[in-house]
Structure formats: structure tokens, C-alpha cells
Amino acid sequence: MVQSKATSVDQYLVELPPEWREVIAPVSKTILENLPQGYTESMNWGMTSCEVPVEDYPDTYSGQPLGYLALPAQKRYYSLYMRGAYQDQGQEKKLKEAYKEPVKKMDMGKSCVQFRKIDDLPLDIIGKPIASTPP
């Protein structure tokens, strides 16, 4: 599943194969537990997304909500797109430093952390940067 046609996060989770849902559901829960007020969880771009709604900030270049986080299930891995870590080098550095302890190797692109199983993504570490970027 690269892009879902689900219209809600609940529908997206139900449509995932059970072994994928076992990975995505706890990450999604951690995101929601740490998400600052002002962001909403929705389906956008074929994946779960946390964003500033257009109603709150209508002047975007594309007319789309301002994305903050995204969590897609890919064929071979999962990704957690964290725009806060992408835009704030201090936040990115703290995330990488925190990752060194519990995980052997962090697989991070410009704005995403990629992981193959839930044990590759320390949920206690990702909560802090998620909570640190208000809209």
C-alpha cells in the first residue's frame, strides 16, 4: 500500500494488513498523544497526516493544509515524515542524538525517519520533537 484511498484514519487502519497495522497503530497513537493543539489528524496525499487546517490558515501556496507530520505504510518500510525536524536543525540534531542510545542505526532522510518494524522506532524519543513544534 503506497497510497490509500481511505477517507479517514480509522478506515486507513482497518484497510491495512494486520501486520502493518501492528506497526502503524502505536506510532499513530504516540503522535496523537504528543500532537500540539492546532493540528488535526486526517487523510491527505494517500496517508495519515497531521496538519494545520485550511480553515485556520487559508493562505497556502497550494490551497492545501500545511502539513506537519505524515505516516505512510510503504511496501518495504514505514516512514514518519517530521517537518519540524526538517525545518529546525537543532531539533534534527537532538533527534539524531537521542536515537543513538536505543537503536543501532537511524535511517533518516531530509524529513523522514524510515523503519521496518516497530522496534526500529523508539516511540519515547519521537514524542518530544512532535510536541515541540506548535502551529
CATH fold, domain 9-131, is Aspartate Aminotransferase, domain 1 (3.90.1150)
Give the separation between CA 75 and CA 19, rounded to whole angstroms: 12
Supply the pLDDT for residue 124.
Answer: 84
Give the separation between CA 59 and CA 48, rounded to whole angstroms: 22
Name the residue type at position 56. Answer: D
Give the separation between CA 75 and CA 132, rounded to whole angstroms: 30
Give the separation between CA 75 and CA 93, rounded to whole angstroms: 28
Name the residue type at position 91. Answer: Q
Name the pTM for this structure: 0.85
* 19, 118 contact by CB (below 8 A): no
- pLDDT tens string, the chain, 135 residues long: the values are 457 888 898 999 999 999 999 999 999 999 999 999 999 999 988 889 999 998 998 888 888 898 889 999 888 899 988 887 777 777 777 777 777 765 556 777 777 888 888 888 888 888 888 888 888
Helix, strand, coil abundance in the chain, percent, nearest 5: 40, 20, 40
Name the residue type at position 1. Answer: M
Which residues, other chains included, contact 15 with Cβ-Cβ below 8 Å and sequence gap of 6+? 1, 4, 6
Supply the pLDDT for residue 95.
Answer: 75
Give the separation between CA 41 and CA 9, rounded to whole angstroms: 8
